[in-house]
């Protein structure tokens, strides 16, 4: 317990503070107000200012948070719109490319003085050395084996036997077992083009060392093999050397990009021995053209 002196001291301190407060309540400040009121107002105003600052800071932080959430949602929406626009652009680009290819195919169809049938490539063969594709036209469309297949760029290959009702396999000209009678367009030097595994993938055989062949010469079909009509582009000479025997060594770069063949024309007539077209293979071929 507090002793008498300590209680007396506390009582004296309380009385003193009380007198100060009473005196302050009666004393006026320079501004005309009560000193006590001024002190109390100043104290409370500082508290209020601090509280207002804290509330303003909290309000700013909350506003920034809401704004960031809004920006995040907006960014996500913009990203989705951008992705949708990219997909749409890709689709339109693919459509434009397909339209351009079909226009080229129609132009080729109009230029070829033979009955033709348009077909789409629906599959390929990944077996090494075979190099075949599958088209969506078959026996019911008049397609049969050994018909020539071309594209706007040039010769693609020939239809293989065992044609299905609505599909057929096409042996590409770069296949190891493929071949065609060809000639140099400039000098008319004749030979046979065969597929191979080297680069470039075509080789022109049975061309005499005395024949006029130069790098860059265009190689075209000769129409002598009973499959390919005369005059269709095959490739360009990329390498020519004098052979050890009677014939030159000639490598040919095909004009067709065989990795990107999507639409083709099937020539629905076999060439005559002179290279011109023969009879149509079915009564419906005139309509197919």
- Give me 208's structure tokens: 């005499």
pLDDT at 238: 96
Domains of the chain, start order: 1-85 (no CATH), 116-288 (2.40.10.340)
Q: Using CB atoms within 10 Å of the CB of residue 169, give its burial: 0 to 12 exposed, 13 to 18 middle, 19+ buried.
A: buried
Q: Can you list the residues of the chain whose pLDDT is less than 70?
A: 1-7, 9-48, 126-129, 272-289
CA atoms within a 13 Å half-sphere pointing along the CA-CB vector of 268:
23
At 64-107, the pLDDT tens digits run 777 777 777 778 888 888 877 777 777 777 777 777 777 877 78
Distances (CA, A) of 199 to 27, 130, 156, 239, 253: 111, 16, 17, 10, 8
pLDDT at 215: 96
Contact 221/190 with Cβ under 8 angstroms?
no
Residue percentage of the chain with pLDDT more than 90: 43
Provide the token pair at 261: 């063949």
Q: Which pLDDT does position 70 carry in this prediction? A: 74
User: Are the C-beta atoms of 234 and 251 separated by less than 8 Å?
Assistant: no
Percent of the chain with pLDDT strictly greater than 70: 75
- The pTM for the full model equals 0.64
């Amino acid at each position: 317990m507090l002793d008498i002196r300590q209680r007396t001291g506390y009582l004296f301190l309380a009385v003193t503070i009380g007198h100060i407060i009473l005196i302050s309540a009666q004393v006026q400040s320079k501004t005309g107000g009560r000193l006590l009121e001024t002190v109390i107002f100043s104290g409370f105003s500082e508290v209020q200012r601090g509280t207002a600052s804290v509330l303003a800071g909290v309000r700013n932080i909350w506003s920034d948070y809401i704004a960031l959430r809004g920006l995040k949602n907006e960014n996500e929406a913009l990203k989705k719109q951008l992705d949708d626009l990219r997909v749409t652009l890709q689709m339109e680009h693919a459509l434009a490319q397909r339209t351009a290819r079909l226009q080229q195919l129609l132009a080729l169809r109009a230029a070829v003085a033979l009955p033709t049938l348009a077909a789409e490539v629906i599959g390929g063969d990944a077996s090494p050395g075979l190099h075949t594709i599958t088209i969506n036209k078959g026996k019911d469309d008049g397609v049969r084996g050994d018909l020539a297949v071309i594209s706007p760029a040039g010769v693609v290959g020939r239809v293989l036997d065992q044609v299905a009702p609505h599909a057929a396999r096409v042996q590409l000209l770069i296949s190891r077992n493929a071949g065609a009678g060809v000639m140099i367009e400039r000098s008319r030097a004749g030979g046979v083009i065969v597929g191979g595994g080297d680069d470039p993938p075509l080789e022109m055989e049975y061309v005499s060392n005395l024949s006029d062949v130069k790098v860059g010469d265009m190689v075209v079909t000769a129409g002598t093999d009973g499959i390919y009509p005369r005059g269709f582009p095959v490739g360009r000479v990329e390498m020519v050397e004098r052979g050890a025997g009677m014939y030159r060594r000639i490598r040919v770069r095909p004009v067709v990009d065989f990795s990107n063949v999507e639409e083709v024309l099937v020539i629905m007539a076999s060439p005559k021995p002179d290279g011109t077209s023969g009879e149509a293979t079915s009564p419906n071929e005139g309509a197919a053209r």
